[in-house]
Amino acid sequence: MLAPFFSVPVSLILMAGTTFCLIRAFKSSPWVSRTNYLIHALMSLGMLGMVWHTVQLPLLPQLLLFGAASFWFLLQAVSRQEFSLACRDRSEKIHCLYHAAMLAAMVFMLAAPHPVVAQQPTTVPVQQDGHAAHTGHSVAVSPSAALETVTLWIQPTAQVLAVLFAAAVLAWLVPLNRVQATLRHTKKASISRVSLHRHSVLERTYEAGAALAMSLMFTAAGLPN
């Protein structure tokens, strides 16, 4: 899916994201936060398996897992505050909607056929009473209508998703100054502010890295072959 010179950097981003999510999962006390971080770690591992084609992971369990995970984040986004889920205020609900969309995009990436397949010809048998019978050719090459559909709608969809996740990278990185301004106005102790600031920067850096990996992988999937 990715060009060789992109595979290693994207793999490093995904491995760093997996490590960060696992550390946060073990440090988080609420079970909802633990679950959310574990889902992100599994998503990074799933993307890592797609980067390296030699790793053949079963498809159906991944589709079920990430489909259910997308619904889980959507449920958190629309749930009421009394249910004590992770997404409580407006900003957190937007983040949960974004994560639900990211996991849905992960399902699309897994389920969509690779664009290269659409260019492979299919062979159909022909009758032996024509020119082919005299030349010794018994099959004719014909493109499959189902595979042509891959090029018609999957590649444009992948290109749109690549642009959206590229915009998400900027959205995660640009407002860092707003985070710092918010932290300066908090009334907590200075040590708590430093800890919260470090967590916010790492969190947003992880989100930007995951969005960048998604954007690059959808860019590769949307390129004509």
Strand partners, 125: 139
Q: For 50-59, what is the mean pLDDT?
A: 76
Q: Which has the higher per-residue pLDDT, 58 or 99?
A: 99
Is 131 part of any domain?
no
Is 65 part of any domain?
no
Q: What is the token pair recorded at 214? A: 């998604």
Is 196 part of any domain?
yes
- Tell me what pLDDT residue 152 has: 72
Is 102 part of any domain?
no
Is 80 part of any domain?
no
Q: Which residues contact 64 (CB under 8 A, 6 or more apart)?
A: none
Nearest 10 degrees: Cα torsion 60, 63, 67, 69:
100
Is 148 part of any domain?
yes
Mean pLDDT lowest among 14-23, 62-71, 86-95, 176-185: 176-185
- pLDDT tens readout for residues 89-145: 777 888 899 999 999 999 999 888 654 444 444 444 545 554 444 444 444 444 455
Q: For 80-85, what is the mean pLDDT?
A: 63
Residue 96 has φ and ψ, to the nearest 5°, of -65, -40
- Tell me what pLDDT residue 188 has: 47
Q: Which has the higher per-residue pLDDT, 177 or 16?
A: 16
Is 30 part of any domain?
no
To the nearest whole number, what is the mean pLDDT of the chain?
A: 76
Q: Which has the higher per-residue pLDDT, 127 or 59?
A: 59
Q: For 188-217, what is the mean pLDDT?
A: 73
Is 164 part of any domain?
yes
Residue 174 has φ and ψ, to the nearest 5°, of -65, -45
How many distinct structural domains can be found in the chain? Answer: 1
Residue with tokens 């679950």: 35
Determine the Cα–Cα distance for residues 68 and 167; give it in Å rounded to an integer.
26
Q: Which has the higher per-residue pLDDT, 161 or 179?
A: 161
Is residue 81 a contact partner of residue 101, using CB atoms and an 8 Å limit? no
Is residue 163 a contact partner of residue 156, using CB atoms and an 8 Å limit? no
